[in-house]
Amino acid sequence: LLGWGLGPEALSEFDRAESADHKLDTQPFFRALRGVAGVLSHRNAEAVADLSISALAIDPYAAAWRGLARAELGQAALARKDFELAKPVIASFDPAFQAKVYIEAARAALADNEPSLAQSYLLRLVPAIDDPRLRAEADFLRGELFERMNQSDEAVLAYGRAIVTEFRPVAIRARYARALLLNRLGKLADAALADEIDRLRMAWRGDEFELRMLSKLAELRLAQGEV
């Protein structure tokens, strides 16, 4: 089940196995496998608990999965440390999973104000990533990194590459980030920025990102005397 990426189904089997033999909970191999299933099921707090037992604390493979769980929990500093511990083995993963780990490692490093480390992870990505979702994530992160490094032209191009993948969860964010950047550079007027955000908010609803867009739109409309 884990081999097919069926995390919730695997967790059910682990629960049944533990019910049959309570000693399994003390076995590192069992905790490691259940931790992987937890990450695949987005039960990240439980996954971190399984993957953090003393026998797995410095295991680089466990650290890679623990880093993914902590990244999704928003624990950027802890995730960054886990990915650094995992760094020697990431290249041994299959290409798709390898790309996912490098991308999440770069994201955690950037969130933890370590742009040079983020850049080192992005440079390790294979030039051609088959999955358009992963390509979009990678280019969006490159855009954020270039912005942080004051390389505005490169940032605009990277955001553009993320947009053309048409992977909606990333493309919308990339359009927003590119519009803000062009506005700061004086290449997009406030009125045009407001119009672009107005279009984007209709395409994305229901989370913190929408609230951020609405807040920026209200600020722009207020400055234009329209609120």
What DSSP assignment string belongs to 19-81? HH-GGGGG-HHHHHHHHHHHHHTT-HHHHHHHHTSGGGTT-HHHHHHHHHHHHHTT-HHHHHH
Long-range contacts of 171-176 (CB under 8 A, 24+ apart): 171/136, 172/200, 172/203, 172/204, 172/209, 173/140, 173/209, 174/136, 174/139, 174/140, 174/143, 175/200, 176/200, 176/209, 176/213
- pLDDT value of residue 141: 96
Which of 131, 203, 217 is CA-nearest to residue 174?
203
Please name the amino acid found at residue 82. D
Sign of CA dihedral 193, 196, 202, 203: negative
> What's the pLDDT score for residue 227?
56
Q: Give the pLDDT confidence score for residue 49 in this predicted structure.
A: 97
Torsion of CA 186, 191, 192, 198, to 10 degrees: 130
Helix axes 60-72, 95-111, angle to 10 degrees: 60
Cα separation, 22 vs 2, whole angstroms: 21
Q: What is the pLDDT of residue 208?
A: 86
CA 7 – CA 219 distance, rounded (Å):
43
pLDDT at 202: 85
- Segment-wise mean pLDDT, segments of 10 residues, the chain, 227 residues: 94 95 94 97 97 97 98 96 96 91 96 95 84 92 95 96 91 95 96 93 82 92 77
Q: Length of the chain, please?
A: 227
Residue with tokens 């609405």: 214
- Token pair belonging to 146: 């270039």
Q: Which pair of structure tokens corresponds to residue 16?
A: 């049944």
